[in-house]
């Protein structure tokens, strides 16, 4: 048993203390989740949907309190926190409203019998391992469809999110979810391997680092269970003409700096044609240099602190090494701000070596990178020159041309004249080093499910079906 504290990145101060579970408690947790599954899977679809609908209402009603939690935990500006909470309530409400449609039996051609159909049935207890950057949204994306389906959930959240992680369980139970159907556990990453391997866990979903994803996938595979991974991203943002360049850059900057740049699907690589490269760099250098950095409750702040002092220091060090090694030119910002808390200057990088650390690996912070392409073909090549494949976007006045370019990108999600859009009714997920599997929309109930085939044969047809 060990204690850990909420480390407020706005102040650099330790606040409340929490206690992690011991390894000996694992059996009790999994026994409780397994026992709860027997009843929850037998609960009617209407009852499950009602819990999700009421959960959505509670997120709306408690928005101020919930926003304060994540502001203190990981520094999210209050307006961003409330926007996240709005998306969360939309997710729970969407699954409630579409419950019967999503779980309806799929009728197949009878194929020689009275009736053939597939029914979506739950698998059992699932393990969720979630990150700190969107503490409520990441949970909802996993929990809402699987609770609707009838699975039970054991949720290990990031250690920096003790308040919001417990709130996720508390709100569900206040909405009517039976005890032990959703269990928030304070645990360390090193304890997860035994959870994943345990035969009571039927599947695992992780959003987080590539290293953690690889470890989870390995153990899950060795134990014959499914995993869904949402890992990093190095998303390209291609601008293929300058007809509306000022408007496009006005879109790019807040999208890149949203959540202080700590979003997997943020546009990490701005790729523009050489004809308007200088204008792009000059505009962004000025705008980024004017961004105001402040605490989560500072209404005038454009960006907040990083999630932790360690995270801030890591990015500052990487930028300094890139500058020293000639791997990038830091046009503005990039330094630690001399105040308590995890603050840094938002930065702009140009002349980046695509094969260097800052070129090919995700920078999870308020750092914009601009690349120059001689033409659209080179822009496409640069966009696809990455082992990641989460999302991408193409920006241009000619929608047909922009759509043609979008069709040549190799990511899990590609947008035209928008980026990083997430809605309950849209699938979310990537390829390559960005992971595998999909969440949200109908795909959200399609990952941890038994697509159970039923064939009903009248006695008059007995013996007519081929048997292998």
Q: Which residues are catalytic?
A: 230
Gap between the Cα atoms of 400 and 45, Å rounded: 43
Q: How far is CA 282 from the centre of its chain?
A: 32
How many Å apart are CA 80 and CA 297, to the nearest integer? 11
Residues 6+ apart with CB under 8 A from 427: 413, 438, 439, 440, 441, 443, 444
The full DSSP string for 244-311 is THHHHHHHHHHHHHGGGG--TTSEEEEEEEGGGHHHHHHHHHHHHHTPPB--TT-TT-SB---S-HHH
How far apart, in whole angstroms, are the C-alpha atoms of residue 224 and residue 202? Answer: 9
Convert 195-217 to b/e letters by CB count within 10 Å (16 or more is b).
bbebebbbbbbbbbebebbebbb
Q: Tokens at residue 461, please?
A: 């047809």
**3-class SS at 239?**
strand
Rounded alpha-carbon distances, angstroms, from residue 318 to 139, 293, 359, 372? 30, 20, 11, 22
Interior CA angle at 158 toward 359 and 309, to 5°? 60
* Token pair for 40: 């929850």
Return all residues near 292 (Cβ < 8 A) that are at least 6 apart.
300, 301, 302, 303
Give 398's DSSP letter: -
> DSSP 3-state assignment of 232?
coil
Angle between helix axes 63-74 and 45-61 (nearest 10 degrees) is: 70
Question: Residues, the chain, total?
Answer: 468
Backbone angles phi, psi at 299, to 5 degrees: -65, -20
DSSP 114: S
Which contiguous run of DSSP H or E holds residue 138?
helix 137-149
Distance CA 240, CA 267 (A): 15
Measure the CA–CA gap between 430 and 441, rounded to whole angstroms.
15
């Amino acid at each position: 048993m060990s204690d850990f504290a909420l480390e407020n990145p706005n102040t650099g101060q330790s606040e409340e203390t929490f206690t992690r579970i011991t390894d000996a408690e694992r059996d009790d947790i999994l026994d409780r989740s397994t026992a709860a599954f027997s009843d929850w899977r037998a609960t009617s679809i209407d009852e499950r949907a009602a819990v999700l609908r009421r959960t959505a209402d509670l997120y709306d009603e408690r928005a101020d309190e919930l926003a304060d939690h994540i502001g203190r935990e990981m520094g999210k500006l209050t307006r961003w926190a409330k926007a996240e909470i709005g998306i969360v309530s939309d997710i729970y409400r969407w699954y409630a409203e579409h419950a019967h449609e999503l779980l309806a039996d799929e009728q197949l051609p009878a194929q020689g019998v009275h009736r053939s159909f597939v029914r979506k049935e739950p698998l059992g207890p699932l393990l969720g391992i979630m990150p700190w950057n969107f503490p409520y949204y990441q949970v909802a994306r996993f929990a809402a469809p699987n609770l609707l389906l009838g699975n039970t959930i054991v949720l290990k959240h990031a250690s920096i999110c003790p308040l919001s992680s417990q709130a996720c369980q508390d709100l569900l139970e206040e909405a009517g979810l039976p005890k032990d159907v959703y269990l928030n556990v304070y645990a360390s990453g090193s304890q997860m391997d035994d959870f994943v391997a345990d035969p009571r866990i039927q599947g695992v979903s992780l959003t987080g680092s590539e290293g953690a994803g690889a470890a989870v996938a390995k153990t899950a595979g060795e134990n014959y269970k499914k995993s869904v991974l949402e890992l990093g991203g190095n998303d390209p943002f291609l601008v293929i003409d300058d007809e509306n360049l000022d408007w496009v850059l006005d879109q790019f900057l807040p999208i890149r700096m949203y959540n202080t740049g700590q979003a997997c699907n943020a546009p990490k690589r701005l790729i523009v044609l050489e004809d308007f490269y200088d204008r792009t760099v000059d505009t962004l250098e000025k705008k980024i240099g004017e961004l105001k950095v402040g605490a989560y409750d500072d209404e005038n702040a454009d960006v907040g602190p990083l999630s932790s002092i360690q995270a801030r220091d890591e990015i500052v060090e990487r930028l300094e090494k890139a500058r020293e090694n000639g791997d990038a030119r830091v046009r503005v910002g990039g330094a630690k701000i001399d105040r308590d808390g995890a603050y840094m200057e938002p930065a702009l990088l140009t002349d980046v070596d695509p094969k260097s650390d800052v070129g090919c690996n995700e920078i999870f912070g308020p750092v914009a990178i601009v690349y120059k392409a001689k033409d659209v073909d080179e822009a496409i090549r640069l966009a696809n020159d990455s082992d990641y494949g989460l999302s991408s976007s193409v920006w241009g006045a000619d929608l047909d041309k922009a759509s043609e370019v979008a069709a040549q990108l190799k990511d899990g999600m590609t947008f035209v004249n928008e980026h990083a859009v997430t809605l309950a009714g849209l699938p979310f997920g990537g390829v390559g080093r960005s992971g595998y599997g999909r969440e949200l929309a109908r795909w959200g109930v399609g990952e941890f499910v038994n697509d159970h085939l039923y064939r009903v044969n009248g006695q008059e047809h007995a013996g007519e079906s081929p048997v292998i």
